[in-house]
Structure 1
């Protein structure tokens, strides 16, 4: 669709960041934590003394120190007997005790879609995994480049994406121009400070966090409308983001298996054709806070599929993922995403749901069985 002439915008060359803009960017990209913040993070808001098994293989430490997270988990589940706890940062291999893990983006050419894999390892097997680490670094850098595409789509004076997002959200030309001016400032500041900024902060959410930091200076309704507009721009940019520069799913699986990895597919309802691809994986995530619609169906389907396997093939395991992002817990309470900030590592209430737990048992599994069987595979 050709962008209408009336929706072109003036160039933004004259926009210059002021000191308050620099300070705002520093605040939203800060990853150093104060002693008070670290102590608060080590104290869980909830405790689950009755939970004896803790399976946590899909969660993101972000910039929170691992020792603080370990203390928080221990305090949250004081009576745990069976545990398997592995971090899965996006495209960055991290270690916690005997296990290491990562959530990696890759490309499935068969159905032309980006998918994600959770890779889990014994830590001693990946400390010298140079090829895998190079693959992850390439993927991390490429995914981070989406932020620059996101900003370019906003500041470019004749971006078709601007028109489409404004039409979908009812954003006025005045609001769009105001957003563009701020994003141009962010772009200039990031270009100037690129090597000094924490690499973990260079993600799409930097724009969301920056505009949230304008609350108090600007009307909340204006900020809310701007955030809606930005979300639509981001979605359109992600839809057009070239996928061929990601490693293919089969390539990632092959390299991971050579290192003794366990492999789990998260969010299957977001890219359901992967269920038909027959990839060499250990299991599927059937529930997480973002993916609950098909939980009973997925559990039942996996149980039936396992019954049809030959003796030489291992069954697919049933996983639940909490998808906790620890960085959400650092933000001021008023600026937290309510649903994301309520997640906890190892807390997946679906295991206790009577209907779901019945289906899991009929599929021949429990949380304890999955922990033991998957641990055995990682040590095999």
Structure 2
């Protein structure tokens, strides 16, 4: 049995432990625990019980959030508890590349490719649920399935960059993070185990679990035995490798942005551009969309500017076609419900604080001034967007 040897890695942090090459029973137990989509009573309680309540919120708009594997009935209980006095709402789940319904509405966040500026972008598609039932949405569902499978393939490329590092991506990540050989060997040893377990148990793995965060979550479970210092350094290296893989991931297999929009419109759907500050050129593209997300927890820096962009686009549009529908302003909480399921010590603090339907920027006084000038408010957006979805 070959062993990754224990070598002093950094005097200020824990040493990488000895890692047997073979997959152990403990490795297998960790693997399936990380993959599990069954919630314990404690996890269900954690999901259904929000840590904060917003009794003054009368309108709840949630058009960008991800249920992941968490049952919708538990999420509904959480929203009911968090917003006990809401009088109106528009709540639509937007799972990555999987169409899901909530009451009268359905939604999805789609990865696609904008050839004009050679970049992957994402779109939020929203529908009245009746428009995407059965065969009527067969083409869209096929497009989403293809995109889901292709995006999931990035996990295998991520692991290959670690276990068969001949293309230089691991070397680039090592240079960026300053990782020393013992740490690299430790990460590679567990990456090989994960790769082996994925191959051995391919037919038993939920498709929704085949994503890059599987690797991050696996390493997080090693914290009790390996220490936070070592695992933090391992996670930094993993993140750098993942970014290298994402940067080189072929865009040619994604559907074009215009193709996704055309299919959504054919079904009577609406389209919103999420966190456009990550895709600046899309603000200049003449895409047929209903609005732009000007704030979410990952995109807060340019909110004022983006509201101004939407306002100017509306002024130009109105001058050209007075009867044209205006672009709407959206804010997305981008909540990932799977984060709520994790034990608190394994949660990403920033992501764990997100709450479906809670976007504090709507109440920010400085941003509020810009919204007034643009003729936008949350209740008005809910009513106008519902009208489009129902029309």
Q: TM-score with structure 2 length normalisation?
A: 0.92
Name the residue aligned to 2:230: 222
Matching of residue 28 in structure 1 with residue 34 in structure 2: yes
Q: CA–CA distance in 1 between the matches of 2:57 and 2:383?
A: 16
CA-CA distance at 1:39 after TM superposition: 2.8
CA-CA distance at 1:64 after TM superposition: 0.7
Choose from 116, 127, 137 the match for 2:133. Answer: 127
Name the residue aligned to 2:146: 138
Query: Per-residue CA shift, 1:341-363, capped at 9, x if unaligned?
Result: 01000000000000101111110
Q: How does 1:284-323 map to 2 (within 5 A)?
A: 284-309=292-317, 310-323=321-334
Choose from 346, 353, 368 the match for 1:357. Answer: 368
Query: Per-residue CA shift, 1:68-112, capped at 9, x if unaligned?
Result: 111211111111112100000000000110000000000000000
Name the residue aligned to 2:4: none
Matching of residue 44 in structure 1 with residue 55 in structure 2: no
Matching of residue 209 in structure 1 with residue 217 in structure 2: yes
Name the residue aligned to 1:5: none
Q: Aligned to 1:217, what secondary structure does the other structure show?
A: helix
Choose from 65, 69, 72 the match for 2:78. Answer: 72
Name the residue aligned to 1:8: none
Choose from 177, 184, 192 the match for 2:200. Answer: 192
Query: Per-residue CA shift, 1:122-144, capped at 9, x if unaligned?
Result: 11110121110010000000000
Choose from 110, 113, 116 the match for 1:110. Answer: 116
List structure 1 segments (4+ residues) > 3 angstroms apart after TM superposition. Answer: none
Q: CA–CA distance in 1 between the matches of 2:146 and 2:178?
A: 38
Contact 2:161/2:170 (CA < 8 Å) preserved in 1?
yes
Contact 2:46/2:340 (CA < 8 Å) preserved in 1?
no
Q: CA–CA distance in 1 between the matches of 2:48 and 2:232?
A: 32
Structure 2, gaps ≥5 residues long? 1-19
CA-CA distance at 1:157 after TM superposition: 4.5
Contact 2:219/2:231 (CA < 8 Å) preserved in 1?
yes
- Change in Cα spacing, 1:157 to 1:250, as seen in structure 2 (3 Å) is closer
Q: CA–CA distance in 2 between the matches of 1:42 and 1:364?
A: 35
Q: Paired residues, what number? A: 367
Structure 1, gaps ≥5 residues long? 1-13
Matching of residue 252 in structure 1 with residue 260 in structure 2: yes
CA-CA distance at 1:195 after TM superposition: 1.3
Q: TM-score with structure 1 length normalisation?
A: 0.95
